[in-house]
Structure 1
Amino acid sequence: MVQYLLITANVGSLFEPDARLHSSWIKTVSDQVDTVDPSFFIIHLQETGGKKFAECSQQVPIIISRLSAALPKFDLLRAYVDIDYEAIEYTALGALCFIKRSLWTSVLQFNFHSKKYEQLTSPKEVVTQGLENYPYVVKHKFPKDFWPSIKWGRKGYMQTRWKIGNRVFDFVNAHLFHDESNLALIHENPELYSQNRKRALDFVLKELSAMENGCTPFLFVFGDLNFRLDSRSFLNRITERTAPHPVAEQEQLGSLADGLQKPTATNLEVNNGYPAENLRRTVSAIEFRRESDSDDSQNSCVLRIEKKKFDYFNHKKLLDDWKSYRGDDKEADNFKSMFELNINFPPTYPWSEDPENSETLMKTRAPAWCDRVLMNKSAYSLVEQGGPQYTSFGMETCTGDHKPVMLSFNV
């Protein structure tokens, strides 16, 4: 029997000049690995090097070395981490694979250049440069025209392929587009960002299908998929008996009461799903105020939304009641060929980045299950039979603004 452990972790918050989160993050991950005790463990990383990548990318090999030292049961390491931030195809993605010696003879790695599986020989291999042409990795940034309206970012995917026993596994690390503005989810096109994510992941799945080379691998796509809640149903749920009011930069606009369900031409002038340009330019915030309050006092505001602010009047309740809005998490349904185990854990984003206050959500975005493990049908069937566990972890410590998500199963 082989015990597998797959983990996805957005590590952008780890990479700061003081490296203050390194030790707690390494301990959190290594403790989880020790608990599961897998023979084959792979962790997918997103945003390696963090937002200050020019300054902090040098920390990446250090944290890999420290994590490896914290996992002495694993004799073999294959680490592929894209930290060449000056390269055109820079994605900041990483894939770290740890294998126990007892499994060495049963594991082959696919060479995408020669189209052959090869025996593992050297115990450790850490590659941080030239991954575009490295034979054991497929790595691509999404094309510029996928999102021409914003700055071309680091979003993309990375693939490795393994043959373990007589089964072929494709492990794909995907980092899909985020929600650029909270306001766009209300008074612009509420499906703008989810449509871009669907386009990107459909692109990945199509590319993978073209590379199957006559075989049908057990496919696992796990990364920061940036799936968000359905904004209309979620906001209607948490703002009952309130009315939305725009807060203009220069002048107060008219009421947007019932604007979520029924935007009118008077205040939205919808054109192909988008509002008039002057509304996008002038509205800086939208407040949901209790209808029973006659004044505009601060106490009447239940929720204030700005471009990068989501300030709910009771953020603790929002976190504690996460089961009440699980039904608003619908993006995975857009991918009919992919499957996922039931989610029975709190939202994985956006958690506090403050080690002294790590068990709360930040007031920057609506809560969401961004970090996911999706599988094709054959992989899903295999996992279902293997006593799977699908959960997030690290609730008691600060792991940055994302909580890691794990899937374990045996074959």
Structure 2
Amino acid sequence: MLAHFFEPDARLHQSWLDTMKAKIDAENSDFVIIHMQETGGKKFAECSKQVPVLIERLRESLPQFSTMRAYADLEYESIEYTALGMVVFIRSSLLPNVYQFNFASHNYEPVKATGELVMSGLEKHKFIVKQKFPKHFWPAIKWGRKGYMQTRWKIKNKVFDFVNAHLFHDESNLALIHENPQLYSQNRKRALDFVLEELANLENGSAPLHFIFGDLNFRLDASSFLNKLTVRAAAHSLNDQEQTGSIGEGLEAPNNNLSPHPDLLRRTVSAIEFRRPSATEAIDGCVLRIEKKRFDYFNHAKLLDDWKSYLEDDKEATNFKQLHEIPINFPPTYPWSEDPEDSEALMKTRAPAWCDRVLMNNAAFEFIRGGGPTYESFGRETCTGDHKPVALSFSTRRPL
């Protein structure tokens, strides 16, 4: 996820390149595929031109690979713009056994030892399926860039579908408390179900190994997670007229003047504070303050250190019974500091979450289990933006 990675000063590029190169070199893989979301960043009109430069720099840093295929959706003025990107690196030793699926002719084509980057016309490109999610999935807000991109590869006699998905995010922290707690997860389920249906329609008589990986924006079960953080604390709602600030700066105890009517509640609540009667554990007794785009816990370092205690609240993947995942054994991948001087801390914008995932169908899951899979986040010591990348690696060195 590269939303805050592409900036005019390009200050995070070198650390990202170093992190990716170190990981790829360490794995010593023959076939590497990288999925990226928000390619070009939030300032895409200004920063999309950085994308081909970055991809070329990555390619130059990995001379062990003879072949590169890269696709980046940079046509930001198009109604079908998704900002998705993917890069594939293949070693020459594996290349004779690799074929890429042509979605136009429905045939597999041999891959030549060249470096290719495609940045336009992806809607009609023969090697790519790219779709933005239908507008009716989220009718109440501006139609965004969320969607998916698919490539298909045959390595010897096994067919691999690699799908880059970027699902809907949580627009408001407060909505999870005052409205429908499943509001955003239901939309993510609708979107990912759509992807799975499209994959089934494109199986073309084969039974591919499906790998769906990207920023799936999965979030914690809000009720269970908040109960853990706010033991012995009472919730107090604040309206727009009441004082705001940071827990670290100290907060005055405001009056609660809210009407109990739910419509008025949604209109006026600007923050919720969870306070304990004693001030011994937090400044002014405030344990947690939640605003639309702020999640301010009194001990944010502890929140990160204790991630195993709330991993059980990561339940959203269970909404997809047909998909599997290697057990998670790494800290939340979001929201990490975007400050290179403070890259090992979480930001106080959202609750921590495992947004960046690799899911797979049953055939893929059974296949990789025999190949000693590893599933981990990386780049924790360097600033790679507000998301930490996640990698799944496995061996196919057995009869395919």
The alignment's TM-score, normalised by the length of structure 1, stands at: 0.91
The answer to whether structure 1 residue 388 and structure 2 residue 373 are counterparts is yes
Aligned-partner residue type, residue 45 of structure 2:
A
> Which digits, 9 at most, give the CA deviation of each residue in 1:85-124, with x for residues without a partner?
0011000001100000111110000000000000112511
Q: Which residue of 2 aligns with 1:263?
A: none
Task: Give the superposition deviation at 1:254.
Answer: 4.8
Q: Which residue of 2 aligns with 1:82?
A: 73
The answer to whether structure 1 residue 173 and structure 2 residue 173 are counterparts is no
- Are the counterparts in 2 of residues 11 and 48 from structure 1 also a CA contact under 8 Å? yes
- Are the counterparts in 2 of residues 182 and 365 from structure 1 also a CA contact under 8 Å? yes
- Are the counterparts in 1 of residues 92 and 113 from structure 2 also a CA contact under 8 Å? no
Aligned-partner residue type, residue 278 of structure 1:
L
Q: Which residue of 2 aligns with 1:152?
A: 143
Take 1:378 and 1:129, find their aligned partners in 2: how far apart are those partners?
33
Change (3 A) 1:152 1:117: same
Task: Give the superposition deviation at 1:247.
Answer: 0.4
Take 1:254 and 1:299, find their aligned partners in 2: how far apart are those partners?
16
* Correspondence 1:8-407 to 2 at 5 A: 10-250=1-241, 254=256, 267=260, 269=261, 276-292=262-278, 299-407=284-392
> Which digits, 9 at most, give the CA deviation of each residue in 1:66-97, with x for residues without a partner?
01011110010000010110011000001100
Aligned-partner residue type, residue 182 of structure 1:
N
Aligned-partner residue type, residue 326 of structure 1:
L
Determine helix, strand or coil for the equivalent of 1:181.
Answer: coil
Take 1:97 and 1:160, find their aligned partners in 2: how far apart are those partners?
10
Higher RCO (CA < 8 A, seq sep 6+): 1
Aligned-partner residue type, residue 196 of structure 1:
N
- Are the counterparts in 1 of residues 101 and 152 from structure 2 also a CA contact under 8 Å? yes
> Which digits, 9 at most, give the CA deviation of each residue in 1:277-316, with x for residues without a partner?
221110000000003469xx95211000000000000000
- Are the counterparts in 1 of residues 133 and 147 from structure 2 also a CA contact under 8 Å? yes
Aligned-partner residue type, residue 12 of structure 1:
A
Take 1:165 and 1:191, find their aligned partners in 2: how far apart are those partners?
42
Aligned positions, number? 384
Take 1:277 and 1:112, find their aligned partners in 2: how far apart are those partners?
49
- Are the counterparts in 1 of residues 73 and 83 from structure 2 also a CA contact under 8 Å? yes
Structure 1 regions of 5+ residues with no counterpart? 1-9, 257-265, 270-275
Q: Which residue of 1 aligns with 2:394?
A: 409
- Are the counterparts in 1 of residues 239 and 257 from structure 2 also a CA contact under 8 Å? no
Determine helix, strand or coil for the equivalent of 1:129.
Answer: coil
Alpha-carbon RMSD across the aligned residues, in angstroms, is 1.5
- Structure 1 residue ranges, 4+ long, deviating more than 2 angstroms after superposition: 250-256, 291-294
- Are the counterparts in 1 of residues 37 and 166 from structure 2 also a CA contact under 8 Å? yes
Aligned-partner residue type, residue 24 of structure 1:
S
Aligned-partner residue type, residue 167 of structure 2:
L
Determine helix, strand or coil for the equivalent of 1:13.
Answer: coil
- Are the counterparts in 1 of residues 82 and 145 from structure 2 also a CA contact under 8 Å? yes
Deviation larger for 285-294 or 30-39: 285-294
Determine helix, strand or coil for the equivalent of 1:32.
Answer: helix
The alignment's TM-score, normalised by the length of structure 2, stands at: 0.94
Task: Give the superposition deviation at 1:255.
Answer: 8.5
Task: Give the superposition deviation at 1:13.
Answer: 1.9
Structure 2 regions of 5+ residues with no counterpart? 243-253
